[in-house]
Amino acid sequence: MTASSISAAPALPTGSHTAAAPSAAPDGEAGAARPVLSQRLRTETAAQHERMHTLMAEGKPFADRDAYARFVAAQYVFQRDVEHLFAAPDLRAAVPDIDMRGRQSASQADLADLGAAVPDTPLATHDIGMPEALGWLYVSEGSTLGAAFLFKEAQSALGLTADFGARNLAAYPEGRARAWKQFVAALDAAPPDLHDGAIAGANAAYDRFGALLRHHFDL
Ligand code: HEM
């Protein structure tokens, strides 16, 4: 896939991976239902996801290894922001399998493979707690789905692999679909009073990744 064909990749998530999850849950009132958190996140941040496509198409991360290393630098900083949240007891309680997630060390190893410097950008998540943290993790975990496309591109265009340069795009050992399904279950177990905060966190996380892409690609 060329950089331009990335923009031609599915413009918005199809939701096929969430098909098994309920799209609504009873709210205690007869006949009424409220959307589950995964559904709200997907719907209410769809424009942000589309913006990521646009930035990726403009940045052309697969033009050559130097351009790709810029993407990995952005990924490393974002993953470090996200993994900083993993220590919070209430996030750990909400996402019991949290330790299998995150791609900070994979990104760092990729930067070393590529001979690129590890950015020393200040952390963006010092003051983030629940429920915003759940939204940050949503953006990071969701990005592992689109990463399936990017991984193929890194292999075919740049000759990178899950053991060299493209670790940050490779699937978790558990597999992308399984890891995502488990995460969606965790999201949808979150009580409604956490939803708005989680969505605010997802928007902040998308804003951060967008700013990192713009910075690292000089956009
Ligand atoms: C050009 C790059 C990208 C492509 C081609 C892409 C593609 C996709 C696709 C096809 C899905 C849906 C997968 C499925 O339905 O099974 C998806 C989901 C998702 N992507 Fe991307 N993506 C890209 C970049 C990003 C970036 C940079 C982020 C965030 C930093 C991101 C965050 C997400 C999230 C959160 C979801 C889950 C949406 C949901 O709730 O269902 N994506 N992506």
Q: What is the CATH number of domain 65-121+132-219?
A: 1.20.910.10
Ligand 1 center–CA 33 separation, angstroms: 27
Residues in the chain: 219
pTM of the predicted structure, to 2 decimals: 0.90
Question: For residue 213, what pLDDT band results from cuts at 50, 70 and 90?
Answer: very high
What confidence score (pLDDT) does residue 9 get? 44
Q: Given the structure tokens 């292999």, which residue do they identify? A: 155
Count of other CB atoms within 10 angstroms of residue 43:
14
Residue 156 to residues 109, 151, 210: CA-CA distances in angstroms? 20, 9, 25
The whole-number average pLDDT for the span 183-210 is 98
15 lines ligand 1 (CB under 6 A): yes
Q: Whose CA is nearest to atom 43 of ligand 1?
A: 146
Is the pLDDT confidence value at 104 over 60?
Answer: yes
Q: What totals of helices (H) and strands (E) does the chain contain, helices first?
A: 9, 2
Helices 46-59 and 195-216: angle between axes, nearest 10 degrees: 10
69 near 108, Cβ under 8 Å?
no
Q: Whose CA is nearest to atom 28 of ligand 1?
A: 143
Ligand 1 center–CA 28 separation, angstroms: 33
Q: Whose CA is nearest to atom 7 of ligand 1?
A: 146
Ligand 1 center–CA 29 separation, angstroms: 34
Domain-by-domain residue ranges, the chain? 65-121+132-219
Measure the CA–CA gap between 115 and 83, rounded to whole angstroms. 23
Least confident of 25-34, 59-68, 70-79: 25-34
Bond before 131 cis per omega within 30 degrees:
yes
Question: For residue 130, what pLDDT band results from cuts at 50, 70 and 90?
Answer: very high
Q: Given the structure tokens 């331009």, which residue do they identify? A: 4
Q: Given the structure tokens 């996380």, which residue do they identify? A: 205
What confidence score (pLDDT) does residue 7 get? 40
Question: For residue 26, what pLDDT band results from cuts at 50, 70 and 90?
Answer: low
Measure the CA–CA gap between 86 and 95, rounded to whole angstroms. 9
Written as six digits, the tokens of 165 are 């340069």
Measure the CA–CA gap between 165 and 140, rounded to whole angstroms. 19
Measure the CA–CA gap between 200 and 75, rounded to whole angstroms. 21
Cα 128–Cα 131–Cα 133 angle in degrees, nearest 5 = 45
Q: Report which DSSP code applies to 164.
A: B
Tens-digit pLDDT profile for residues 133-175:
999 999 999 999 999 999 999 999 999 999 999 999 999 999 9
12 lines ligand 1 (CB under 6 A): no
Ligand 1 center–CA 45 separation, angstroms: 11
